[in-house]
């Protein structure tokens, strides 16, 4: 039996999160239980192997962005606390860690990786509660990558002479690390794993809206019997970060976050002799040629900009479509947007979770309004949003010009700006026409074109016929205002060692 339809008629109706689903695909609630997490009322700073009160006695609250419910109070580290932490890290470096054979460091890091694996569900639930990302993502993507980073770098700990043959690699000493709120635990892993494997000690500052998974990681590090002072964590906001950056007792700073803060750190570090790596913002170009596998390109586009609500430095936030397939691709994309489930991050069927903070929500709202004001055409699916919490519907703009703010500025939200191009040359020119240079994606069935385009794209990471693929062996980082230095693999080790020429 066949039926007649108008093109575009096929559209799965979705009303997500209903307690009494009325349609077959309005899936019944499938909540992950939060009972596995045991939240404390308040958390101290992790210094020299212990949780201690902050010098000032001040703390700040961290909330669940999906509900705005209070989760816990977290200590605010000031310059005194940062000094204690750096001192402890220095003592640990000089005292035990630097001289520990690589294979002993490896054992500790392997133990940590194994403990993370065993407590993955707990860590994933905590990550979702504190940050707002869907449990499916923290469970299936974040946590496996976290464990993988520690396993991979544990393997390097006793093989540094193979990584840098004849160059006598040595640790730098004490490193200060500042991480963002979009992948709290994963960014902690990207920072801690190579630093520890190469024999450095660490003072880490988690983001102020997402400190909890890092603090649980600190507990696990404590349980794994790392020597006290090897890993220290100081929680706080911008002032804490500044105190850490400015501390004279550090040999290196590693920062992941916004370009504007990164520039400030570069200025602060200039002339101090501290080494620096920065992983900053991006405005990734997602290029789709007319011969692309369109249905799969739609999936790649959706993953590229709506994964983690678009809170991704390497998000494919600019869609460059070859003109002949623009209308068809956008029609498929709009239809696919209608199937995205926005809602409770703790529901296992949620595709798009909460925006991380009110501040970020305001920024996104503001930039989206600018898109409308500048004349772009906006599409959002008509999905219901929960009452409280911070939410933004997946959004696609068409009729976008390169000069629009939504095409130039990093929105860091679930907002895609689509532009057209005619030739591969024009695609490359438009893709590179940005001060950023972190990531790009290319969709085409023609292998020679993938190679031609990838060669010319000024982006640290180029994905072809896929997007958002990460692996601890694969070096990640950008060009230009997206920062410098690489994380992951052999390239990522360079940042944490000094070598003879």
Partner 1 sequence: MATSLTTGATTAAGGSVAPWEPRAADGRAVRVAPVDEVALTARAARLRTRSIKTTSKAALLDLSIRIMDLTTLEGADTPGRVRALCAKARQPDPLDASVPQVAAVCVYPALVGVAVQALQGTGIHVASVAGSFPAGLSRFDVQLDDIRAAVDAGADEIDTVLNRSAFLAGRHQQVFDEVVAAKQACGAAHLKVILEAGELGSHDAVRRASTLAILAGADFIKTSTGKISPAATPAVALCMAEAIRDVADQTGRLVGLKLAGGIRTAKDAWHYCVIVGETLGEDFLHPDTFRLGASSLLNDVLAQRAKLRDGRYADSDDFRVD
> One of 122, 137, 208, 279 is an active-site residue; which one?
279
Contact residue for partner 1 among 106, 108, 231, 292 (CB under 8 A)? 292
**Cβ closest to partner 1, residue 28 vs residue 239:** 28
Does residue number 445 form part of the binding site for partner 1 (CB under 8 A)?
yes
Does residue number 465 form part of the binding site for partner 1 (CB under 8 A)?
yes
Site mask, partner 1, residues 316-345, x = CB under 8 A?
Answer: -----------------------x------
Contact residue for partner 1 among 6, 35, 270, 500 (CB under 8 A)? 6
For the bound state, the minimum distance from the C-beta of residue 128 to partner 1, rounded and expressed in Å, comes to 14
Does residue number 293 form part of the binding site for partner 1 (CB under 8 A)?
yes
**Cβ closest to partner 1, residue 27 vs residue 484:** 27
Alpha-helix residue ranges (DSSP H) falling in 247-357:
259-269, 294-306, 326-337
Does residue number 41 form part of the binding site for partner 1 (CB under 8 A)?
no
Does residue 220 contact residue 108 with C-beta atoms inside 8 Å? no
**Cβ closest to partner 1, residue 334 vs residue 498:** 334
Does residue 117 contact residue 147 with C-beta atoms inside 8 Å? yes
Contact residue for partner 1 among 80, 296, 388, 423 (CB under 8 A)? 296
**Cβ closest to partner 1, residue 25 vs residue 36:** 25
Does residue 445 contact residue 291 with C-beta atoms inside 8 Å? yes
User: Among all chains, which residue has been given the structure tokens 């706080």?
Assistant: 236
The stretch near partner 1 (CB under 8 A) out of 268-276, 287-295, 364-372, 425-433 is 287-295
How many of the chain's residues bind partner 1 (CB under 8 A)? 40
Does residue 79 contact residue 243 with C-beta atoms inside 8 Å? yes
Does residue 315 contact residue 411 with C-beta atoms inside 8 Å? no
The stretch near partner 1 (CB under 8 A) out of 12-20, 37-45, 272-280, 470-478 is 12-20
**Cβ closest to partner 1, residue 325 vs residue 497:** 325
Structure tokens at 180: 């963002």
Does residue number 25 form part of the binding site for partner 1 (CB under 8 A)?
yes
Does residue number 13 form part of the binding site for partner 1 (CB under 8 A)?
yes
For the bound state, the minimum distance from the C-beta of residue 15 to partner 1, rounded and expressed in Å, comes to 11
C-alpha 396: how far from chain center = 22
Contact residue for partner 1 among 68, 299, 327, 373 (CB under 8 A)? 299
Distances (CA, A) of 301 to 86, 286, 381: 43, 7, 16
Does residue number 435 form part of the binding site for partner 1 (CB under 8 A)?
no
Does residue number 455 form part of the binding site for partner 1 (CB under 8 A)?
no
For the bound state, the minimum distance from the C-beta of residue 307 to partner 1, rounded and expressed in Å, comes to 11
For the bound state, the minimum distance from the C-beta of residue 32 to partner 1, rounded and expressed in Å, comes to 9
Question: For 16-123, where are the E strands, in sequence order?
Answer: 42-43, 45-47, 50-52, 59-64, 69-75
Structure tokens at 276: 């620096």
Does residue 482 contact residue 259 with C-beta atoms inside 8 Å? yes
Please list, in sequence order, all residues whose beta carbon lies within 8 angstroms of the beta carbon of residue 457, skipping any fewer than 6 positions away: 285, 428, 431, 432, 440, 442
Question: Angle at the Cα of 291 (from 329 to 446), degrees rounded to 5?
Answer: 140
Does residue number 8 form part of the binding site for partner 1 (CB under 8 A)?
yes
Contact residue for partner 1 among 67, 349, 357, 434 (CB under 8 A)? 349
For the bound state, the minimum distance from the C-beta of residue 1 to partner 1, rounded and expressed in Å, comes to 5
Say if residue 339 is exposed, middle or buried (CB neighbours under 10 Å; 0-12, 13-18, 19+).
middle
Structure tokens at 274: 């501290």
Does residue 142 contact residue 308 with C-beta atoms inside 8 Å? no
Question: Residue 199: which region, alpha, beta or left (left: phi > 0; alpha: psi -120 to 50)?
Answer: left
Does residue number 21 form part of the binding site for partner 1 (CB under 8 A)?
yes
For the bound state, the minimum distance from the C-beta of residue 130 to partner 1, rounded and expressed in Å, comes to 22
Structure tokens at 470: 């990460």
Does residue number 295 form part of the binding site for partner 1 (CB under 8 A)?
yes
Contact residue for partner 1 among 50, 99, 118, 140 (CB under 8 A)? 140
For the bound state, the minimum distance from the C-beta of residue 338 to partner 1, rounded and expressed in Å, comes to 10
224 a catalytic residue: no
Does residue number 2 form part of the binding site for partner 1 (CB under 8 A)?
yes
> One of 137, 224, 313, 487 is an active-site residue; which one?
313
Q: What are the two backbone dihedrals, phi and then psi, of residue 163, each rounded to the nearest 5 degrees?
A: -70, -35
Q: What are the two backbone dihedrals, phi and then psi, of residue 158, each rounded to the nearest 5 degrees?
A: -105, 15
Does residue number 425 form part of the binding site for partner 1 (CB under 8 A)?
no
Please list, in sequence order, all residues whose beta carbon lies within 8 angstroms of the beta carbon of residue 166, skipping any fewer than 6 positions away: none
3-state secondary structure of 7: coil
Residues engaged in binding partner 1 (CB under 8 A)? 1-13, 20-21, 23-30, 136, 140, 291-297, 299-300, 339, 348-349, 445, 465-466
Catalytic positions, please? 279, 313
């Amino acid at each position: 039996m066949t039926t007649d339809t108008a093109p575009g008629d096929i559209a799965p109706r979705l009303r997500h999160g209903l307690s009494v689903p009325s349609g077959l695909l309005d899936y019944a609630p499938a909540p992950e239980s939060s009972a596995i997490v045991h939240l404390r009322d308040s958390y101290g700073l992790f210094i020299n192997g212990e949780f201690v009160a902050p010098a000032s006695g001040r703390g700040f609250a961290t909330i669940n962005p999906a509900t705005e419910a209070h989760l816990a109070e977290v200590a605010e580290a000031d310059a005194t606390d940062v000094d204690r932490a750096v001192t402890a890290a220095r003592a640990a470096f000089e005292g035990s860690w630097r001289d520990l054979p690589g294979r002993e460091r490896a054992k500790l890091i392997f133990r940590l990786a194994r403990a993370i694996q065993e407590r993955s569900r707990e860590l994933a639930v905590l990550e979702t509660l504190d940050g707002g990302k869907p449990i499916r993502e923290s469970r299936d993507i974040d946590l496996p990558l976290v464990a993988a980073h520690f396993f991979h770098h544990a393997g390097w700990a006793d093989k540094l002479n193979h990584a840098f043959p004849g160059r006598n690699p040595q640790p730098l000493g004490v490193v200060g690390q500042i991480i963002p709120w979009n992948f709290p635990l994963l960014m902690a892993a990207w920072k801690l794993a190579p630093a520890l494997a190469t024999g450095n000690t660490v003072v880490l500052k988690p983001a102020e809206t997402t400190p909890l998974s890092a603090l649980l990681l600190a507990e696990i590090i404590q349980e794994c019997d790392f020597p006290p002072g090897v890993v220290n964590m100081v929680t706080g906001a911008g002032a804490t970060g500044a105190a850490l950056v400015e501390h004279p007792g550090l040999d290196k700073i590693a920062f992941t976050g916004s370009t504007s803060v990164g520039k400030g750190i570069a200025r602060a570090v200039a002339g101090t002799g501290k080494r620096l790596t920065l992983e900053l913002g991006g405005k990734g170009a997602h290029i789709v040629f007319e011969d692309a596998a369109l249905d799969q390109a739609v999936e790649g586009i959706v993953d590229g900009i709506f994964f983690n609500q678009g809170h991704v430095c390497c998000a494919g936030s600019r869609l460059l479509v070859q003109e002949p397939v623009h209308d068809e691709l956008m029609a498929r994309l709009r239809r696919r947007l209608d199937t995205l489930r926005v809602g409770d991050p703790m529901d296992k069927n949620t595709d798009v979770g909460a925006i991380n903070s009110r501040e970020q929500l305001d920024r996104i709202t503001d930039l989206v309004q600018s898109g409308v004001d500048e004349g772009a055409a906006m599409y959002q699916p008509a999905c219901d949003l929960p009452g409280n919490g911070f939410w933004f519907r997946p959004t696609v703009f068409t009729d976008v010009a390169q000069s629009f703010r939504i095409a130039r500025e990093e929105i860091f939200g679930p907002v895609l700006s689509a532009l057209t191009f005619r030739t591969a040359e024009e695609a490359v020119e438009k893709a590179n026409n940005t001060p950023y240079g972190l990531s790009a994606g290319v969709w085409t069935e023609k292998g020679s074109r993938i190679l031609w385009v990838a060669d010319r794209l000024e982006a640290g990471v180029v994905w072809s016929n896929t997007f958002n693929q990460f692996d601890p062996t694969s070096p990640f980082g950008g060009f230009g205002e997206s920062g410098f230095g690489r994380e992951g693999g052999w390239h990522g080790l360079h940042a944490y060692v000094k070598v003879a020429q």
